[in-house]
Chain A
Amino acid sequence: MNWLTNFVRPKIRALVGKETPDNLWEKCPSCEQMIFHRELETALRVCPHCDHHMRLGAPARLEMLFDEGSHTRIELPQPTADPLKFRDRKRYTERLKEAQQQSGESDATIVAHGQIEGMSAVIAVLDFNFMGGSMGMAVGDALIAAARLAVLQEAPLITITSSGGARMQEGILSLMQLPRTVIAVDEVKEAGLPYVVVLADPTTGGVSASFAMLGDIAIAEPGALIGFAGARVIEETIREALPEGFQRAEYLLDHGVVDMVSHRHELRATLVRLFRLLKDRSPAAEVVPLPEAGVAVGDSSTGSAAGKEAEPAPAAEAAPAPVPDATPVPPAKED
């Protein structure tokens, strides 16, 4: 744990890396066309030739969804690194350090709050580049922090998942992130706030068997691999070839597992439409002319929204000497 290796080096690499000529062109893994890197970034890593959705890094996902310059990342808790002193061919601490240096992040999740079309939202993104987006204590803690922030800000929570599942190197503690993240998103739901999941490629194992499958709304990215068991394990178990498109977003849509498959370029607009529908639930208050003297105030037939809007003004008129603490009723929450 050294400031130079963990912080400075990745920053320099990030700065220098952009200029290296060998990654100016990228080959689409689906149609194999070469795409100029700038064009690919502008297209949010969707192939302009075949619409294949490539994996997108977590920071770019935040940029793509939040209003420009409106979001702030929050600092996340730093749980005990390597609680089991796990070692396979390599020490877990080494794998972790490598991933941290490569990404400049401390673990696989980043969390930010900001505005989407002027509406507050909290987003937690899992980054597949960080140890396969695997979920250990840090990811669980990040989800809990994100959920608490959403509740505090009375904002919807969006999670964007891209993960191979639980982080084996944390043993049973990685499995314990299933209940922990379920509690986190349930806190958001119990506060009456929307919880939306964007299932990106891939979302499997423990992540799919917990918070990723509990969205009020589940949106999948085109072509994303989503499922519990790995395809190879299934093939070995049933000893048969798997059906065409198995565990892909469109296949899951057909089987009723997700609400929709949304093109990355339309994701933001979809979220905005959903949030507006869930936020402004009754017709906007009409402009009601001031009632004539003698007309009953807050007539129930005018509808609750209009009634509340109209209330304070006539009350002030009718009572020329208002009681000092007769402040108008605060507007209803949904406004």
Chain B
Amino acid sequence: MRHFLDFEQPIAELESKIEELRHLSDADEINIAEEVERLEVKSDRLLRQTYGNLSPWQKVQVARHPERPHSSDYVSGLIEDFVPLAGDRVFAEDQAILGGLGRFRGRTVIVLGHEKGGDTDGRVKHNFGMARPEGYRKAKRLMELADRFRLPVVTLVDTAGAYPGVGAEERGQAEAIARSIETCLEVSVPLISIIIGEGGSGGAVALAAADRVLMLEHAIYSVISPEGCASILWKDGSYAEQAADALKLTSADLAKLGVVDQVIEEPLGGAHRAPGEMIEAVGDALEPVIYALASEDRDNLRAMRRRKYLNIGKKGLG
């Protein structure tokens, strides 16, 4: 059973009607076949209309869609011979961030990604993609490993934010994030981040201070969740929609601001409607970027990355 978002209800109704008719028809009922076709055209148009004009708040819903492909789906779709690597060597293995070695279209890479989990058990196991210090320390460790073996790093960003917990704070959540950002900016290998779903604040940028930041069309990337922003600035969480507008968290706005380098178009109706197609599109976008960065001089790569961040924000939205 497909999960429909609130604003997708008209589409859901059409689709269920089509489904019903299909069950009714005994294949030879020409009228029914015609009706199905007519409704399909209508539903397609509606889908196109809706997804062509998503508001920022609707994009927030799409970015969090439970059926949207997650990091592990991209890894299984794009990475061959994946060898997961675990642990921060200090305290624990944090399954909110997956990481490992693998081969992307022939090239050995290190992959890191927030993993939200696909079902209830998975979500609990991966702590809904909210990492603790161990996750960021593992990320740092694997980025350093990549640097040692001169391997490009690909990070997949999909998190509501770093986990707010007592233990996380006691073990230095802030420090772990800061060190992870520092390592992103320190390594002399290509570092490419792809915002695949939700890019939530410090927990996201910890893996995304990269040479190139790619972002899926309906993904979001923000300093704070719209709900959090609304409850602080509007003193009322129900203003999340307004906050989503004000925060400029969509791929189009972030590209204008120079925070995102490239937007990857999603299949009609969002990544969750055609995960396979989406994963291939991400692979196709990633390949030339890795190829171009891999031929850069190592010191230059690092210097350019730093310069890029120092120059961010010089232009507004205009």
**Chain A residues at the B interface, C-beta cutoff of 8 Å:** 79-80, 82-89, 137, 140, 144, 166, 168-176, 178-180, 182-183, 186, 204-206, 208-214, 226-230, 233-234, 237-238, 240, 242-243, 246-247, 255-257
Contacts and interface: CB of A to CB of B under 8 A. Distances in A.
14 contacts: A87-B246, A166-B224, A170-B223, A173-B259, A173-B312, A178-B205, A183-B185, A209-B162, A209-B202, A214-B178, A214-B179, A229-B165, A234-B164, A234-B169
A212 B179 CA distance: 11
A83 B223 contact: no
Contact of B178 (A80, A84, A211, A243): A211
A198 to B, nearest CB: 16
B292 interface: no
A234 B161 CA distance: 13
Contact of B177 (A86, A172, A209, A242): A209
A126 to B, nearest CB: 15
Given A83-B313, A171-B223, A171-B249, A179 B184 contact: yes
A179 to B, nearest CB: 4
Given A174-B223, A175-B205, A182-B209, 5 more contacts: A84-B247, A84-B248, A171-B248, A206-B201, A210-B178
B19 interface: no
A161 to B, nearest CB: 11
Closest 7 CB pairs of A and B: A229-B164, A83-B316, A208-B174, A88-B233, A228-B174, A179-B209, A175-B223
B221 interface: yes
Contact of A79 (B178, B239, B313): B313
B239 to A, nearest CB: 8
Contacts of A209: 162, 173-174, 177-178, 181, 202, 206
Question: Which of A182, A226, A240 has the most chain B CB within a 10 Å cutoff?
Answer: A182
Nearest to A137: B313
A281 B309 CA distance: 35
Contact of B172 (A180, A210, A246, A255): A255
Contacts of A227: 169, 173-174
B249 to A, nearest CB: 7
Contact of A206 (B223, B239, B314): B223
A240 B242 CA distance: 31
A238 B233 CA distance: 24
Interface size class of B (residues with CB under 8 A): 35 or more
A144 to B, nearest CB: 7
Interface string B240-268: 00110011110000100101000000000
Question: Which of B178, B181, B248, B312 has the most chain A CB within a 10 Å cutoff?
Answer: B178
B30 interface: no
Contacts of A86: 246
Contacts of B174: 204, 208-209, 212-213, 226-228
Given A171-B247, A234-B165, A183 B310 contact: yes
Contacts of A176: 205, 259, 309, 312-313
Nearest to A242: B166
Interface in B192-209: 201-202, 205-206, 209
Contacts of B186: 186
Nearest to A218: B175
A294 B310 CA distance: 58
B155 interface: no
B31 to A, nearest CB: 53
Nearest to B247: A171
Nearest to A172: B259
A313 B110 CA distance: 59
B182 A182 contact: yes
Contacts of B246: 84, 86-88, 171
Interface in B280-315: 306, 309-310, 312-315
Contacts of A228: 162, 164, 168-169, 173-174, 177, 202
Question: Which of A170, A174, A228 has the most chain B CB within a 10 Å cutoff?
Answer: A228
B222 A175 contact: yes
Interface in B130-186: 162-166, 168-175, 177-179, 181-182, 184-186
A229 B173 contact: yes
Contacts of A238: 165-166
B166 A175 contact: no
B30 to A, nearest CB: 54
Contacts of B165: 229, 234, 237-238
Contacts of A179: 181, 184-185, 205, 209, 309
B229 interface: yes
A100 B201 CA distance: 27
